[in-house]
Amino acid sequence: DAGVIQSPRHEVTEMGQEVTLRCKPISGHNSLFWYRQTMMRGLELLIYFNNNVPIDDSGMPEDRFSAKMPNASFSTLKIQPSEPRDSAVYFCASSKAGVSNQPQHFGDGTRLSIL
């Protein structure tokens, strides 16, 4: 079975540019999560969706960040404009339903570098 698929794997861009990260969850999973990992702050939850609806976006750093889930098989995380401090590894994860006893399955991440 295909796992969570993220693209691109690596992204290098200049400050001020728009960045779009993409995620395809595992088929049949109802919940989707975006995380960010840095050396300083570790792994942080940014936002999560249940049945394509954003449930908790309290982890989104600021208005420059936005996330969408137009359908059950696709989500995007957009940063506009990007800044050097946004450099991090961004992970997408999915799980079945919105219950706490279901494991989350993570993608391989997008390593983002803002110059």
Partner 1 sequence: DAKTTQPNSMESNEEEPVHLPCNHSTISGTDYIHWYRQLPSQGPEYVIHGLTSNVNNRMASLAIAEDRKSSTLILHRATLRDAAVYYCILNGANNLFFGTGTRLTVIP
Residues that bind partner 1 (CB under 8 A): 4, 31, 33, 35, 42-45, 48, 50, 55-56, 91, 93, 95, 98-101, 103-109
**For residue 105, what are the β-bridge partners?**
94
CA–CA separation, 14 vs 111, rounded Å?
A: 14
CB of 51 to partner 1, least distance (A): 12
CB of 42 to partner 1, least distance (A): 6
Q: Which is nearer to partner 1, 31 or 75 (CB)?
A: 31
Q: Which is nearer to partner 1, 76 or 104 (CB)?
A: 104
DSSP string, 54-101: EEE-TT--STTEEEEEEETTEEEEEESS--GGG-EEEEEEEESTT-TT
CA–CA separation, 14 vs 30, rounded Å?
A: 34
CB of 16 to partner 1, least distance (A): 28
CB of 41 to partner 1, least distance (A): 10
28: DSSP letter = T
Q: Which is nearer to partner 1, 45 or 72 (CB)?
A: 45
